């Protein structure tokens, strides 16, 4: 089997987000960037499947500006064999991302496509589902457990009511939950080795796909702040406040 | 032009969040039609037809819709999507799984997880785990929108008398099969809609110690929540997780016990009306958003809290 893993470069999850003064977006200059956390789970799962002997090749793909390449290099350092960087400047919506990925899938012909269930920047949670719609493939979203069988996968999905299990025929799209696995760290020797792995650069404009955003972002603001609360001295005071001041119990 | 809303149900009952989405949909256009796909789902169709604000119920009843699979729902939605300005569902695991598959088929850029309808084409939505709010305008002819249910009041479940129209099934998608759903059954209020939520974090130290949380929740008739750290540590099942990647809750009272307050947890609860934090680390970030903070060892504070609650004559249900 061949697995394609899509990864996205986002503001690191530990960074305190700041909104730009002109309300045009959030500050990304001089801010630590990382791989979108559930995308790390996607790479890890692909590497585990390869280690079990059920996959032969892992290709990592990212879409974004020049620096997005770092995200592919990181995927190569934890076990992907080849990388693809589709260069696009500016914001790319999930619909355009899924059209680019469809193009890559048609060229690479993977059996499985893995990615995180949601990017922690735009919080859209769309790309995997959109890609599977465009390819007319099965979709297994929010995967927390994957069992690879002969021509199918059994996938346990995290849903609001608990857990759901579905079976999807290969080829399929899987979007990964944070609980799927524990992503490994890249060792220094592997980081060095990753620098020599092949990384193909493609310009999105050469693919003939319109990546202009369809949705107008009118403004980005800070959310309303909660007013500062108080510290109570003991449990009795807490219960008294809840009963008589907040009137919630 | 009208709004087409996709109902979430289990063939017996309509999921309550559908009512909140109906409210949001009515703000986009007051001609709200609800599409119900299910099997032996007549009682659900009837209850939707009675919801205030619903003008028409389109019912598709077929064994292939007994269990929800996006791959089977989407062709029905596409068949019925003509003449609608909006297609809408809840931004929970049901709608998140479904709507992008609809949008991509229609070549529409979806607007996810809206918390306010500003104009029929302009919405407010949180980004970066709620650390910023974006105002966005959709210029697509059809708007595909998912709605954060807790940001809208539920539509009254009575007062409507919509007609129920039957429609045909679409072709089955044979490459995906439903196997099973393991639902966690509970007599407690549901986490997403409870008036009070008591949540535990890593500070609980074990699953066994969650009984302290359970006792307080029992007394307050509250739902039980948890941080991702507590779920990952195996103290409690994932359906209790509150946060960016779990559930978003907006109760009247949220009590966070032994939860430090990681950004991703705050994203799921900071819109609660009143927030209480109990934590022995006075510097924990949770205190910066708590209305009432108690710096204390939870293993002493929780039993005392229960004792004080028992002294009260009345507790609101």
State yes or no: pLDDT of B263 exceeds 90.
no
Total residue length of chain A: 249
Of B124, B147, B166, the last residue of a domain is B166
Of B101, B180, B287, the CB nearest to A133: B101
- Residue at B181 is within a domain: no
- Tell me: do B84 and B127 sit in the same domain: yes
- Taking only the tens place, the pLDDT of each residue in B129-142 is 889 999 999 999 99
A184-193, B230-239, B285-294: segment of lowest average pLDDT:
B230-239
Q: Is residue B184 part of a domain?
A: no
Task: Walk me through the domains of chain A, giving residue ranges and CATH numbers.
Answer: 2-222 (3.40.50.620)
Distance CA A18, CA A26 (A): 6
Q: 3-state class of A148 per DSSP?
A: strand
Are B119 and B232 members of one domain? no
Q: pLDDT at residue B313 above 80?
A: no
pLDDT at B69 over 90: yes
Among B113, B228, B295, whose Cβ lies nearest the Cβ of A231? B295
Chain B residues with CB inside 8 Å of A218's CB?
122, 135-137
Q: Which residues pair with B276 in a beta bridge?
A: B255, B292
Q: Give the nearest chain B residue to A26 (CA atoms).
A: B132
- Structure confidence at residue B316 as a pLDDT band (50, 70, 90): low
The residue of chain B with its CA nearest to that of A240 is B308
**Which residue among A127, A166, A236 sits closest to B179, beta carbon to beta carbon?**
A166
- Of A122, A126, A142, Cβ closest to residue B127: A122
Q: What pLDDT, on the 0 to 100 scale, is given for residue B252?
A: 94
| Together in a domain, B242 and B145 | no
Where is the domain boundary, B111, B146, B166? Answer: B166
Q: Is the confidence at residue A160, as pLDDT, over 90?
A: no
Specify whether B219 is located in the same domain as B156. no
User: For residue B98, which residues of chain A lie inside 8 Å, CB to CB?
Assistant: 129
Judged by CB atoms closer than 8 Å, whether chains meet at A123 and B244 is answered as yes
In the DSSP assignment, the letter for residue A66 is: G
Instruction: Kindly tell me if the per-residue pLDDT of A163 is higher than 80.
Output: yes
User: What's the rounded Cα separation, in Å, for the pair A180 and A43?
Assistant: 11
- Taking CB atoms and an 8 Å cutoff, what residues of chain A touch B138? 214-216
Contact B238 A126 (CB under 8 A): no
Q: How far is B116 from chain A (nearest CA, A)?
A: 13
pLDDT for the residue numbered A227: 76
CB contact under 8 A, A229 and B291: yes
Find chain B residues with C-beta within 8 A of A226's C-beta: 270, 275, 289, 291
Q: Which of B74, B111, B196 sits opposite A215 (nearest CB)?
A: B111
Q: Are B204 and B154 in the same domain?
A: no
Average pLDDT over residues B56-78: 98
From chain A, the residues in CB contact with B177 under 8 A are 166-168
Q: Tell me whether residues B273 and A217 touch, CB distance under 8 A.
A: no
ipTM score assigned to the predicted complex: 0.95
Of B147, B166, B185, the one marking the end of a domain is B166
Q: Which residues of A touch B134 (CB under 8 A)?
A: 217, 219-220
The CATH number of residue B242's host domain is: 3.40.50.1220
Q: What is the CATH number of the domain that holds B113?
A: 3.40.50.620
- What confidence tens digit (pLDDT) does each residue in B178-213 have? 999 998 777 888 898 899 999 999 999 999 999 999
The domain in which residue B141 lies consists of: 2-166
What is the predicted pLDDT for the residue at A142? Answer: 97
Q: Summarize pLDDT for B121-179 with one digit per residue, the tens.
A: 999 999 998 899 999 999 999 999 999 998 999 999 999 999 999 999 999 999 999 99
Over range B304-317, report the average pLDDT.
Answer: 81
Please give the full DSSP string across B140-208, using - where no structure is assigned: SSSEEEEE-GGGSPPPPSSB---EEEE-------TTEEEEEEEE---SSPPTTT-SEEEEE-GGG-SST
pLDDT band at A14 (very low <50, low <70, confident <90, very high): confident
User: Is residue A73 classed as helix, strand or coil in its secondary structure?
Assistant: helix
Banded model confidence at residue A155, pLDDT cuts 50, 70, 90: very high
Q: Cis bond leading into A171, ω under 30°?
A: yes
* pLDDT computed for residue B315 by the predictor: 64
Q: Tell me the three state secondary structure of residue A247.
A: coil
Which residues of chain A make contact with B316, given a CB cutoff of 8 A?
248-249
Predicted TM-score (pTM) of the model is 0.92
Specify whether B158 is located in the same domain as B231. no
For residue A25, pLDDT beyond 90: yes
C-beta separation of B238 from B262 below 8 A: no
Map tokens 């959030």 to a residue: A26
> Number of C-alpha atoms within 13 angstroms, CB side, residue A232?
22
Euclidean distance between CA atoms A61 and A7, whole angstroms: 6
Q: Distance from CA of residue B50 to its chain's centroid?
A: 22
Please judge whether B138 and A214 are an interchain contact, meaning their C-beta atoms are less than 8 angstroms apart. yes
Residue B114 within any structural domain of the chain: yes
Q: Is residue B174 included in any domain, yes or no?
A: no
Domain count, chain B: 2
pLDDT tens digit sequence for A208-231: 999 999 999 999 999 988 877 999
CB-CB under 8 Å, B176 with A231: no
Residues B143 and B266 in one domain: no
d(CA B5, CA B250): 23
Give the model's pLDDT for residue B317.
Answer: 53
The DSSP string of B92-146 is SHHHHHHHHHHHHHHT---EEEESEEEETTEEEEEEGGGTEEEEEEE-SSSEEEE
Nearest by Cα to A5 from A117, A116, A107, A154: A116
Mean of per-residue pLDDT scores for chain A: 96
Give residue-wise pLDDT tens across range A93-123.
999 999 999 999 999 999 999 999 999 999 9
Same domain, yes or no: B67 and B116:
yes
Query: Which of A129, A157, A230 has its CB closest to that of B292?
Result: A230
- Any residues with CB less than 8 A from the CB of B28 and at least 6 apart, and which? B3, B85, B86, B88, B117, B120, B143, B145
The counts of H helices and E strands in chain A are 6, 13
Q: Are residues B18 and B122 in the same domain?
A: yes
Q: In this structure, what DSSP letter does residue B235 have?
A: S
Phi, psi (deg, nearest 5) at residue B279? -155, 140
Residue B187 falls within a domain, yes or no? no
Mutate to test the interface with A, among B20, B104, B265 (most CBs of A within 10 A): B104
Q: Sorting pLDDT into bands at 50, 70 and 90, what band is A162?
A: confident
CB contact under 8 A, A16 and B293: no
Residues B61 and B157 in one domain: yes
Chain A residues whose CB is inside 8 A of the B289 CB are 226, 229
Residue in B with minimal Cα distance to A123: B127
- In this structure, are B161 and B230 located in the same domain? no
In a domain, B191, yes or no: no
% of chain B surpassing 70 pLDDT: 98
Q: How confident is the model at residue B112 (pLDDT cuts 50, 70, 90)?
A: very high
pLDDT number for residue B184:
76
**B316 domain residue, yes or no:** no
Give the pLDDT score at B238: 84
Is A94 within 8 Å of B110 when comparing Cβ atoms? yes
B229, B140: one domain: no
Residue B312 confidence (pLDDT): 85
**Distance between CA atoms of residues B274 and B61, nearest Å:** 43
Residue B317 domain flag? no
Pair B70, B101: CB distance under 8 Å: yes
A-chain CB neighbours of B179 within 8 Å are 154, 165-167
């Amino acid at each position: 089997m061949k697995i394609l893993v899509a990864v996205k470069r986002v503001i690191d999850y530990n960074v305190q987000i700041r909104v730009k003064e002109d309300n045009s977006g959030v500050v990304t200059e001089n801010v630590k960037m990382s791989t979108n956390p559930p995308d790390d789970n996607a790479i890890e799962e692909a590497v585990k499947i390869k280690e079990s002997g059920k996959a032969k090749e892992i290709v990592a793909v990212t879409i974004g500006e020049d620096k997005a390449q770092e995200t592919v290099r990181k995927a190569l350092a934890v076990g992907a064999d080849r990388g693809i960087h589709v260069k696009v400047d500016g914001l790319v919506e999930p619909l355009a991302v899924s059209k680019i990925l469809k193009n890559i899938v048609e060229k690479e012909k993977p059996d499985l496509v893995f990615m995180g269930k949601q990017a922690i920047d735009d919080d859209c949670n769309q790309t995997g589902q959109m890609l599977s719609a465009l390819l007319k493939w099965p979709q297994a979203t929010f995967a927390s457990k994957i069992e690879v069988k002969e021509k199918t996968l059994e996938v346990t999905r995290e849903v609001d009511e608990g857990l759901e299990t579905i079976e999807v025929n290969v080829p399929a799209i899987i979007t990964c939950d944070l609980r799927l696995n524990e992503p490994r760290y890249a060792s220094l020797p592997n980081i060095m080795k990753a620098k020599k792995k092949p990384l193909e650069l493609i310009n999105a404009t050469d693919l003939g796909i319109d990546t202009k955003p369809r949705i107008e972002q009118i403004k980005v603001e800070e959310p309303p702040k909660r007013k500062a609360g108080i510290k109570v001295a003991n449990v009795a005071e807490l219960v008294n406040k809840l009963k008589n001041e907040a009137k919630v119990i | 032009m009208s709004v087409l809303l996709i109902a979430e149900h289990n063939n017996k009952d309509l999921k309550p969040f559908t009512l909140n989405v109906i409210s949001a949909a009515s703000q986009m256009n007051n001609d709200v039609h609800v599409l119900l796909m299910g099997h032996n789902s007549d009682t659900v169709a009837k209850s939707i037809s009675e919801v205030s604000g619903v003008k028409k119920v389109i019912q598709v009843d077929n064994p292939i819709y007994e269990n929800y699979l996006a791959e089977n729902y989407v062709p029905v939605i596409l068949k019925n999507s003509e003449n609608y300005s909006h297609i809408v569902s809840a931004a929970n695991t049901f709608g998140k799984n479904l709507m992008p598959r609809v949008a991509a088929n229609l070549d529409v850029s979806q607007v996810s997880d809206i918390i306010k309808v500003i104009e029929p084409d302009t919405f407010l939505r949180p980004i970066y785990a709620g650390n910023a709010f974006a105002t966005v305008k959709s210029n697509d002819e059809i708007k595909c929108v998912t709605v954060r249910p807790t940001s809208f009041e539920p539509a009254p479940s009575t007062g409507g008398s919509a007609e129920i129209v039957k429609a045909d099934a679409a072709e089955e998608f044979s490459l995906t099969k439903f196997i099973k759903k393991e639902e966690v059954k509970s007599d407690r209020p549901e986490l997403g809609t409870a008036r009070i939520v008591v949540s535990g974090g890593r500070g609980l130290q074990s699953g066994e110690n969650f009984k302290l949380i359970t006792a307080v929740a029992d007394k307050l008739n509250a739902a039980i929540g948890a941080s991702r750290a507590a779920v990952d540590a195996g103290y409690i099942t994932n359906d209790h997780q509150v946060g960016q990647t779990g559930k978003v809750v907006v109760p009247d009272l949220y009590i966070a016990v032994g939860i430090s307050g990681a950004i991703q947890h705050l994203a799921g609860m900071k819109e609660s009306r009143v927030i209480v934090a109990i934590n022995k680390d006075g510097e924990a970030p949770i205190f910066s958003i708590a209305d009432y903070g108690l710096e204390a060892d939870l293993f002493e504070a929780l039993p005392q809290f229960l004792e004080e609650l028992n002294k009260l004559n009345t507790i609101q249900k």
